[in-house]
Amino acid sequence: MSSNSQWGGRFAAGPSAIMQAINASIGFDRKMWRQDIRGSLAHAAMLAHVGIITTEDERAIREGLEAIAARIEAGEFPWDEALEDIHMNIEARLTEAIGEAGKRLHTGRSRNDQVALDVRLWVRDAIDGLAGQVEDVMRALVEQAEAQAATVMPGFTHLQPAQPTTFGHHMLAYVEMLSRDRGRLLDCRKRLNESPLGAAALCGTGFPIDRRMTAEALGFDGPMRNSLDAVASRDFAAEFLFACAMCATHLSRFAEEVVIWTSPYFGFVKLSDAFTTGSSIMPQKRNPDAAELVRGKTGRVMGALIGMLTVLKGLPMTYGKDMQEDKEGIFDAAETMTLCLAATAGMVRDMKPDGARLREAAGAGFSTATDLADWLVRELRMPFRDAHHVTGRLVARAEAKGSDLAGLTLAEMQAVEPRITEAIYGVLTVEASVASRACFGGTAPENVRHMAAEWRERLA
């Protein structure tokens, strides 16, 4: 059978070429070079401290690793696929540069605990960055909430007009969601913050290493207590990906609303050219592409989570080469989240709500019907189910008349319920409706201002 020259020609040399290609991870795990060098520096310092290597060897290793870091940073490091991964690439160059001392670095550790360490360090760094970005989106939302605390807008259930709310209250709903996303990321950080270094291949090492010293040097709370678990576990990575997927889902819900709100059929908000694009053929178009891409990229993050769980679900203890497949999903999800959070923060700060259009829409669909029913309960001591029935009849009358509820005359209302008085009209405006929702967590403008101020202080 002839090979396809376009797709299969690379492997014409046979099994060795195939094995090298499928086995190598340097094409993607080089992203962990900072973490790998950081771990090696801590390991070398510990080896010297306990007397396994000399202080001269430790100094040579440290200086060699620092030189390698500078070359990588400058884009001058010669990556070699034949050396498989980030760990062997760095170790080989180190030995080439400093000789015998470089060969002593791997004493008391294995690539199994080394990669487990690198991934934990990388995810921990990613969490620190993403948590800060989540906070920035929250601040942007709080800024909008403060500015639009009294801007009335329609609240929806089933995407149908339900009750009036405020734009500020709507923004704060996403602040609450994102605060939980941030909490999940930080909780994940707490659970992953144990060091696997020193677990070696799977059973620990016979050398008198000091695992607590390396754990402390690398900012961990302590070493992992079981060497098998240390090299076998990637639940921290799955948890990280779930936190990302949940956050991406919240960003996607917001993005969907931006897509809807910027449609001329809604016209609730406007985005500038900074976050929209035109059409190649229709000059009138302003497409909310940033929002659509945030919505679309959520699938990548969800896919990374499912991919991780699928890799792990059938693995016996302890390490399997399958675990090489844990990294690309983590890297892609973190980079995708970085971009989506930046785009969302930008859109939130860029969007301009149309207060007049929002108020007009807030009164549509008999949105103050619940206020009318509540008035009947509160003022006439009517059981709520009876009030619900009376309100339904009044809505039917207004609908037949082609008006809103406030458009019914007092006589028309009293034909349905004789005890209704002129005072009913005081609750039928959208402003009265939102002002009345003053219970804790409600949409009243004063509530929104208070909660926005509270969030601003917490995020400071």
402 token code pair: 């082609």
Helix (H, G, I), strand (E, B) or coil at 445: helix
For 185, 186, 335, the CA distances from 244, given in Å and listed in that order, are 8, 12, 11
Token code pair at residue 89: 């690439």
Q: Rounded to 5 degrees, what are φ and ψ at 80?
A: -130, 115
Residue 76: is it exposed, middle or buried by C-beta count within 10 angstroms (0-12/13-18/19+)?
A: exposed
Is 250 among the catalytic positions?
no
Cis before 95? omega within 30: no
- Residue 251's alpha-carbon distances to 194, 247, 413, 458, in angstroms, are 30, 6, 44, 21
**Rounded CA separation 43/55 (Å):** 13
From residue 460, alpha-carbon distances to 139, 199, 243, 247, 413 in Å are: 9, 40, 23, 21, 52
E strand map for 128-200: 152-157, 160-166
Q: Which of 158, 252, 389, 436 is catalytic?
A: 158
Count the neighbouring beta carbons within 10 Å of the beta carbon of residue 13: 10
Angle at 154 between CA 151 and CA 156, to 5 degrees: 140
Tell me if 401 sits within 8 A of 407, measured CB to CB. Answer: yes
Residues 362/369, Cβ–Cβ less than 8 Å? no
Distances (CA, A) of 436 to 125, 338, 370, 411, 427: 46, 40, 11, 26, 9
DSSP label at residue 223: B
- Nearest partner of 295 among 262, 331, 267, judged by Cα: 262
Q: Under a CB-based contact definition with an 8 Å cutoff, are residues 198 and 113 in contact?
A: yes
Cα-based torsion angle of the residue sequence 241, 306, 192, 231 in order, rounded to the nearest 10 degrees: -150
Catalytic option among 263, 279, 403, 450: 279
Backbone phi and psi for residue 166, each to the nearest 5 degrees, phi listed first: -125, 155
Q: Is 179 a catalytic residue?
A: no
Distance CA 127, CA 184 (A): 10
DSSP 315: P
Rounded CA separation 242/19 (Å): 32
Give catalytic residue positions.
158, 279
